[in-house]
A and B are shown apart, each in its own frame.
Chain A
Amino acid sequence: MQQQSLIEPPSELNRLHETLDMELPNINGARMDALRFRSRFEAAVFGLTSEDTSIVVFGSLARDEFTDGSDVDWTLLIDGVADPKHLDLARQVKGTLESMDAKDPGQEGVFGNLAFSHDIVHQIGGEDDSNSNTTRRILLILESRAIGRRDSFNRVLNHVLSRYISEDPRFLQRDAQFQIPRFLLNDFARYWRTMAVDFAHKRRTRGGTGMAIRNIKLRMSRKLIFVSGLLGCFSVHLQLADAEKAALLTADNPSQEFVRHLRRVFAQTPLEILAAVVNRYHHLGPIGKKLFGAYDKFLGTLRDPSGRARLNSIAPGAAEADPLFQELRAYSHEFRDALLELFFDEKTGLDRLTRTDGVF
């Protein structure tokens, strides 16, 4: 069965090489590794999925930041009639990944099992929007890819984005000062803070084990996810020409049009979303070099098996004295400082957007 597919834009990371005139060997290498693994996985699960079921991968595999030591976070997304055999299907997926020597998903139990569209679509906010549900929903938007048939994946993603947009349509009126989907932006911000708080929770419950690598990931890849969400929410102002913006606001159905716009934006990886902004505004070149340079070094450590193993094994309380941790922390400071420059840049108007919607 042929897959429904969105037309994905050409990769902004390819353009970035020309924009910045710099090599990013680890970003490119991780991208190739992700592509290769997904191709193998796609072939291995051919015919397993259906109109009602999609295998969705998250994390570094979806973000094109895959390394030999990466977990494979996946879920069997079900959007259809309940069927006890879905559990068998999930076991098949698990067995396939085991046969590919893939690392199991994290200990939290968010991934590696079944996920149902009803909770993801209906429970946005409120008491029943559990930590796991929020994680699945936000990561579905910001870092996910379907393997095999994508019917369910497309439907659920459209449903989720439609909820954020159609229940908060004021920002699409032409007299609105900013075309920013605040419902969506607030959920991204909430998720970012949840990740930060959960870092502290895991440090306590796991006695500090694995704290160093989680800390660096929080400073880099987790932060990047939030950054891409913010840039996606600001994308009407950052990425559309005046004529394109006018066409969106005067469309037959601006909410539907905006969902299509967001699908195009979030079909890109977080690094591509960031690269798109750097590519569009040439004066951001120096900031781009700092951002992507620091990120490339971070990925370089994760791609190096000995570096990753060392980072993983730093004993609780020993990180402050560990040279590798300190080196990575310095990269994370470069990354943070460059992000601050980016988000308070005046020429792009990001400073105004950040002050208005990124702070309070």
Chain B
Amino acid sequence: MMLIGFSTGALAFADFRRALGMLQDEGVEAVELSALRMPEWFPLIDALGTLDLSSFKYVSIHLPSQMQVDEERSVAESLQHVPRSHPLIIHPDAISDFGFWREFQDRLCIENMDSRKPIGRTEGELDRIFDQLPDAQLCFDVGHAWRVDPTMNVAYGILKGYRDRIVQVHVSEVNSRSKHDILSYSTMQAFRDVAHMIPRVPLILETPVSPRDMCQEMNKVRFAFLPLTSSVLPSGSVATIRCGPNVSV
């Protein structure tokens, strides 16, 4: 069973409640609660206990991508009340003090970065992060790896070195302005090149889509990551069926 879901930030900017409603309407069973900007963080944490997440088989939380040192400390402290079952996704360049994060051990997932960032882009650069956080896991962002190297050689290197640590995969196209975009055919073909190396973990879409396009985008993910069962890109007709969140393979 492969879970496919969305990041709330991709569906509804800074409005996780609306995004959760969209996902529940479509029967999607995996979600990443996203608070990429600092002002979004505490409202999300404060609301967490009140959200009905019972329909989701997988829930992860994406921490702010930029934090001052004092903010970093308070974000780390605020995580004490987050259920242990929710993986915590963090950008390595958001960390200024690894000491705040070591105690989270394997709950913490380092995300590989795109080419704009100075660290965490390649296997070698991730080595240096995992030296500091030896128990941390990996959120493999396949779009970031593709942006760094469209031949997928960098993706191959990351997967070769760290596939055993992968907890979830971020899926999107990262365009020339380094923004998340919907998946294109050539990018899907590139993803297929390494799909067989990715363990069966939740695939979280970061593509900005309207509710009407969610199913179409999830089917593209099936095409890209289940190459053994999908040799032909699903036709437009799939958009008329309910998403049917999980794929048995």
Interface set of A (CB-CB < 8 Å, partner B) = 1-2, 4-5, 7, 51, 80-81, 151, 154-155, 158-159, 162, 251-253, 256-257, 259-260
Contact = CB atoms under 8 A, between A and B. Distances in A.
A81 B176 contact: yes
Contacts of A5: 124
A256 B124 contact: no
Given A252-B160, A252-B196, A253-B194, A1 B118 contact: yes
A253 B197 contact: yes
Given A2-B118, A2-B119, A4-B122, A155 B156 contact: no
A278 B7 CA distance: 55
Contacts of B227: none
Nearest to B178: A51
B149 A51 contact: no
B197 A158 contact: no
Contacts of B196: 252
Nearest to B156: A256
B7 to A, nearest CB: 24
B201 to A, nearest CB: 17
A260 B153 contact: yes
A4 B121 contact: yes
A320 B124 CA distance: 54
A155 B149 contact: yes
B116 A155 contact: no
A253 B193 contact: yes
12 contacts: A4-B148, A51-B116, A151-B115, A155-B149, A155-B150, A155-B151, A158-B151, A162-B151, A251-B160, A252-B196, A256-B194, A260-B156
Contacts of A7: 124
A253 B156 contact: yes
B102 to A, nearest CB: 23
Given A51-B115, A80-B176, A253-B156, A158 B149 contact: yes
A256 B153 contact: yes
Interface in B64-82: none
A159 B149 CA distance: 9
Contacts of A154: 149
Contact of B153 (A51, A80, A81, A158): A158
B157 interface: yes
B152 to A, nearest CB: 7
A253 B197 CA distance: 9
B240 to A, nearest CB: 36
A80 B151 CA distance: 15
Contacts of B116: 51
Nearest to A253: B156
Nearest to A149: B115
A248 B193 CA distance: 17
B103 interface: no
B115 A252 contact: no
Nearest to A155: B149
Nearest to B114: A51
A108 to B, nearest CB: 30
A312 B159 CA distance: 53
B82 to A, nearest CB: 32
Contacts of B153: 158, 162, 256, 259-260
A299 B119 CA distance: 40
B149 A252 contact: no
B97 interface: no
B164 interface: no
A159 B122 contact: no
A253 B163 CA distance: 14
Nearest to B121: A4
B110 to A, nearest CB: 17
A5 B121 CA distance: 11
Contacts of A158: 149, 151, 153
Interface in B93-132: 115-116, 118-119, 121-122, 124-125
Given A2-B118, A80-B176, A253-B197, 9 more contacts: A1-B118, A4-B121, A4-B148, A154-B149, A155-B150, A252-B196, A256-B152, A256-B153, A257-B156
B118 A259 contact: no
A256 B156 CA distance: 7
A261 B115 CA distance: 23
A198 to B, nearest CB: 31
Contacts of A253: 156, 193-194, 197
Contacts of A257: 156
Contacts of A151: 115, 148
Contacts of B159: 252
A86 B153 CA distance: 27
B151 A252 contact: no
Nearest to B116: A51
Nearest to B163: A252
A7 B176 CA distance: 27
A146 to B, nearest CB: 14
B80 to A, nearest CB: 33
Nearest to B177: A81
